[in-house]
Structure formats: structure tokens, C-alpha cells
Amino acid sequence: MSQILGHIVIKRSQTGIGRARARHASSTPLPVLQQPFRYITSLALTCPDPKPSSIHKHSPTPSSAFCSRHSCTLGKILLRPLLRTAATTNQALALSRSFASLSAPRLQPRPTATTRLSVAAFSTSAANMSSQDNSKKDGSADWSNKDGHFRRQESSFRTSIEKGGKHEPEVGRYHLVVALACPWAHRSLIVRKLKGIDRVPDLLPVHVVDSLLGSEGWSFVPYEEPKGYGVPGTGNKIPGHEDKKRIRELYKAADPNYEQRCTVPIIWDNKLNTIVNNESSEVIRNLNYAFDDFVPEEFRGVTYYPEDLAKDIDAFHEWVYPTINNGVYKCGFATLQDAYESNVKPLFESLDRVEKMLEDGRTYLYADKLTEADIRLFTTIIRFDPVYFTHFKCNYRTIRDGYPKINKWMQNLYWNNPAFKDTTDFDSIKAHYFQSHTNINPHRIVPEGPVPHILPLEK
């Protein structure tokens, strides 16, 4: 770090130095480990009014510890790319020590001339550190915002497979990448089987990542560190891309500038070397018709988003998605008590609402016909007792003991339809959540219960 600082161009204003010296001389630095970037305030040399007191009001987290209220030359050049990296890696400690060594007393002597240094070396270092930051983003345990609430990112690839479009339906062109543990990816596996796509060789082959979400996100190969965790997947067998070990490598091949988290499922177009779609709700609708020319006759024209029920299904998703599908994550990833409490109550209110819908004994949620409403809810409910009840603190009541109608609806789908049972892997599901989220379960212990994971269906 000190070597990087030696290559920065800084035009030192004597007036600015004087003010910075006076203000910093009157402030008492906090211990480095308590607030590692406290010393950044002493480096705002060209800011006309550094105002360290205003900086101190910011959260002490690295990503917000620099002054964003002024156009500090040093802040723009040095701090932003480094802090993004330090916020998610062990470089925070190293950076804090470096900044500590440059605290106010060393900066007090007034310079007699402009300091001219080379910026090229710093630019290269900053770029390398920023690249490292992106590779670590997928495995970051920092899921919530500063207000303690979890907010899911928007998906970035939103096209579809259709005739006359960019992605024409073909055999041998497309690949589905999933994690068996992920409820969003689980949806796509269910529809793929329901539509008979799995019966046609090379139509949409599946590539399964390991269950462990490690430091670099979803992986096709087991992590060397930590070693021995997770349930292995199938590996990456996409022709021409077999050397790619992480999901991020596919995302970067599709878009070299991609910087968000890399999620599953994804439909990969191996002809154009890009991602067709990574939004599960759109993927499953696309699969309703995308490959109808290739699947067996009995599956052609079958849709799980029928036009006559579209409005009802959409209205159902409007309250089920934010409070149940995503609601369990809002509870589990909350980092403040009020954030957790504000989400756990709506979750169970919505479960009560679904229970009431099923009171008449119907087999499916709408018109006694299987639709995507059932598919999207199932992948959350099947994980509720084994994971969400304990791991995500969704513990008002379990499904098996507190919601008899929902439990029976879930059992019917699981035990009577292979598309649901054959795509549900409890070992992978539990290993993923309990071993990946070390901010919630630091010792990675996977509970054995509930026993059984799902109760048998009573005749």
C-alpha cells in the first residue's frame, strides 16, 4: 500500500494543508481496528474544506468512510477503487495499517512545492484490485443494506428463445446451468421436466454447480479452501467452455463488463457465447413454448401460464413473491432486529392466506389445474421446514405442524409428480444453506432434521 501511495500525483495546496493540519491536530484518532479508515480524513489534502467532523458521521465501514461531499482529488484517485476491494476482502486490515502510518502528524510539515509523482503504477494496481473485488462479490456474505434489509438485485439478461428472434430454437445450442439447492433454479428444472424437454438428447442439457457458495460464488468444481464442504454437482460440460470453473467466468464471457452477483439459473447460448436469460420467472415462461417443435407430441402446446388464468396468477405472484418467495430471505439476511420483525410477520400472514385458499381441498392453487403459481410456491415451501424455519428464523410455526392444507398440497406435488420429486435434492439444499452462509452459521454444522424431510402422503 505504501508503495502504491508513492506513485500518486498530488498537487498540495498550502492553504488546504494548513486547514487540514489544524483540524486534524485537534482530533483524537480512534484505534485502527475499530475504525480502520478513520485516517483517510487526514489525506484529503486538496479538498478546500476537508471537514473531518462531517466525515466521522459516516458509517465506519470501508465503503463509506471517505468524504463524498467534496471533490477530493486523492479521494477520487485513490480511495474509491481500493475501498470497494477492501470492503469484501482481507485487504481491509492491510489498508488500515497503511493509512494509520500516514496519520495527521506526519502530514503537518508544509510542503514548499508541488509534489509530482507518477500515476501510471497506481492505475494498474487499482485496476487489478477492482478485478479481484468482482471475483469475490459472488461469495460475499454481505447480503443486506445498511438499514439491515435484504434487497435482491435485478436480473440483467432478459431475452428469450423464440422463432425469428436472436435466439432461434435449436437442438444442441442451449444449456441450462443450475444449483440444486437454489429455489429459483429449481423452478426451471421442474418446468424442463414437465415439458418433456429432458426426453430429447442435447435439447437443453443441465449443468449443476456444487452446493457450496464459496468465496468466488457458484462453482463447477469443489473449492480447495474450505475443503470437504458441499455436495458436488455435475461439473461444466458445455462444449468449448469446459475449462471454466466458476459461474462468473460464463457471465464475463457473455459480458466482460458485468459486475453484479452471478446467479442461477442461466440459459446459455453456445452458438452466440452469451446468456439468454438469468431471471427464473422469465425462464420458466419461455420454456412453455421455446422447444415445442422438438419435444414429444404429448407435451406440445402445454403451458403452465394459461391465458384464462394469467391475471389470477400474476395477482398471486404480486403478494407471494415479496412476502413468501423472497420474504424468507428478507428474514434470514436481515441484520437488524426491526428489519427482521418487519418481514417475518408478513411472511406468516401470507402463509395464512394460502392456507385459506386451500381450505376447500383443491389439489392445485387455481382451477384444479397445475400452473406456474404452484411451481413457484412449491420451491419455497419444500425448503421451509428443512431450512427456513431454523436457518432463516422463520419460526412462528412449521409447515407440517402449522399449515395442514399447505402441507398436503406440497405432499401431493412431491409424491405424485416426478417433475417435483426428482428435482428436489434435500442433501444439496441443506448443505448449501448451512455451509455457505457463515455469517448465520459460522461453524457450518448441517442439522439432521427434520426427520423425514417431507412426511409421506396419507391415502
pLDDT of 141: 56
Does residue 163 lie within any of the structural domains?
no
Query: Which of 32-41, 42-51, 359-368, 419-428 is predicted most confidently?
Result: 419-428
Same structural domain, 353 and 228: yes
pLDDT of 175: 98
Same structural domain, 82 and 183: no
Confidence of residue 209 (pLDDT cuts 50, 70, 90): very high
Across 6-33, average pLDDT: 38
Same structural domain, 199 and 335: yes
Same structural domain, 130 and 189: no
Least-confidence region, from 66-80, 183-197, 364-378: 66-80
pLDDT of 104: 39
Same structural domain, 247 and 121: no
Q: Which pLDDT tens digit goes with each residue over 28-63?
A: 343 433 444 333 333 333 344 433 333 333 333 333
327 Cβ partners below 8 Å, 6+ apart?
343, 346, 347, 350
Residue 274, domain CATH: 1.20.1050.10
Does residue 145 lie within any of the structural domains?
no
Across 213-237, average pLDDT: 95
Residue 354 has pLDDT above 60, yes or no: yes
Residue 426 has pLDDT above 50, yes or no: yes
Q: Using alpha carbons only, what angle is made at residue 437 by residues 219 and 140, rounded to the nearest 5 degrees?
A: 65
Same structural domain, 306 and 423: yes
pLDDT of 133: 52
Across 253-259, average pLDDT: 95
71 Cβ partners below 8 Å, 6+ apart?
47
* Phi, psi values for residue 346, rounded to 5°: -60, -35
For 98-137, the DSSP string reads HHHTT-HHHH-SPPSS-B----HHHHHHHHHHHHHHHHHH
Question: pTM of whole model > 0.85?
Answer: no
C-alpha grid cell, residue 281: 420467472
- Which domain, by its residues, includes 183? 174-436
Same structural domain, 203 and 106: no
Does residue 322 lie within any of the structural domains?
yes
Residue 389 backbone zone (phi > 0: left; psi -120 to 50: alpha; other: beta)? alpha
Single residue among 82, 117, 137 that ends a domain in this structure: 137
pLDDT of 140: 54
Residue 250 has pLDDT above 70, yes or no: yes
The CA dihedral of 274, 280, 285, 288, to the nearest 10 degrees, is 80
Confidence of residue 139 (pLDDT cuts 50, 70, 90): low
Are 440 and 340 within 8 A, CB to CB?
A: no
For 330-362, the DSSP string reads HHHT--SHHHHHHHHHHHHHHHHHHHHHGGG--
pLDDT of 147: 74
Single residue among 83, 115, 137 that ends a domain in this structure: 137
Least-confidence region, from 138-142, 336-340, 372-376: 138-142
- Report the SS3 class of residue 149: coil
Same structural domain, 402 and 274: yes
Which amino acid would we find at residue 355? Answer: E
Radius of gyration of the chain (CA): 26
Across 10-25, average pLDDT: 38
More confident residue, 111 or 409: 409
Q: Using alpha carbons only, what angle is made at residue 174 by residues 171 and 178, rounded to the nearest 5 degrees?
A: 135
Beta bridge partners of 167: 161
Across 382-407, average pLDDT: 98
Does residue 197 lie within any of the structural domains?
yes
Which amino acid would we find at residue 48? Answer: P
Same structural domain, 402 and 304: yes
Q: Which residues are catalytic?
A: 182
Q: How many domains does the chain have?
A: 2
Does residue 186 lie within any of the structural domains?
yes
pLDDT of 73: 40
Same structural domain, 322 and 221: yes
312, 395, 310: which is closest to 348 by C-alpha? 395
Does residue 347 lie within any of the structural domains?
yes
What order do you get walking across the sheet with 274-277 strand by strand? 206-208, 174-178, 266-269, 274-277
Does residue 159 lie within any of the structural domains?
no
Same structural domain, 355 and 250: yes
Same structural domain, 315 and 189: yes
Residue 303 backbone zone (phi > 0: left; psi -120 to 50: alpha; other: beta)? beta
Parallel/antiparallel/unpaired status of strands 206-208 and 174-178: parallel
pLDDT of 367: 77
